[in-house]
Structure 1
């Protein structure tokens, strides 16, 4: 099964053009992006800022974040960086508090986290360490981030959250069982949060990317050669997504164009899950 990805890979770029003309989709919104130093998160930072958002970029990789902030500001966007470790609950809450300090509100959040299993392989060979890492980064981190984001959004009268899950969450995942299990659990809490927080005006949705051209794919390819070829062969469109293409879906879900969409888990996988 194909995981979603959250790290950049220059040599796996999609063959189709992914450039789009900004239309102000997120104008006036304060948006927090976690896992923002590279891959889907970094693409979202660039896109959301171009679409008019004030972005707060969060990641452990402070150097990469600062470089991205500089790039966005040079292009006329508004961006700040905050250090966040997805394995540290206090760090996650502190990052959301920093958004409050900077802007006094939070309108939208795009939560990314994509630790891949250290050793892809069958369920019976999956280590306890892999399970713990998947739980911390791909499940508990989202739970912590969502609840902190919700509280700030609730105080401001509402907002929208998008969680990055994976095509690997939607069916059996023999190659990455721990990863798939935690991403499926993430789908469940996404749906539950949508129902629970709807009365407070907070929408919550998830996206399930298929193969996306990032460094995470390179990591998996190195561990299991032939993965890239299998992904492309199993995708009706015949290629992986570019990270910006995934970010485009998240931008729409966070925008006022999607005001009645909540509790959805939306595939973006080139037809691979059809």
Structure 2
């Protein structure tokens, strides 16, 4: 296990340097990647399962705090920021992310962090599933075939995303995304930046902020990353992939 983690860390440092993205505004249609998150005033969506449903991979206390405190704070802060930007209150979360440059400068950073945090977490919750819901162990269909074709094997893909997650310095996310060319890619984003801002479609996100795992795993991020793979909701990721292909095609 130690050799595997060391390999992930080496790959991760290279991945973080190569895959990190800066925030840009690129018009992409992201409708349907998450459940409908509504418009201002935004509300916290319920978890799609009980807080203890992902144990032992993700413990109930972490899940409850992560959702009811951290995600809720992004929603509250987004609403607060938009109070002084009424011209943007009619926009969906994805539109706020992709039209960030138009948002008033005095609330732009708050909208960047809070809209990104709201959308990222909404993707995260629905990208996971408990074993009780007939969880499937790996992606199938077209997504599985494309991952094998582009990464060489499903194990190689998992290693690439794991390496990116371990190499993400500080707080942020590791992602599987679809480019508008139709190509799959692993990337990372800092803080709560969204892949949508880089003009790509997020299919699977792994939260590597310490609040996502520290209560249970402490400083063992590698153990958390390994456990993550046991609760991925592959049918949902496959649905997002099929939708993103259609959206990318226009």
Under a length normalisation based on structure 2, what TM-score does the superposition of the two structures give? 0.29
Kindly indicate which of the two structures has a greater share of residues assigned to strand: 1
Specify which structure has the bigger relative contact order, considering alpha-carbon pairs within 8 angstroms and separated by 6 or more residues.
2
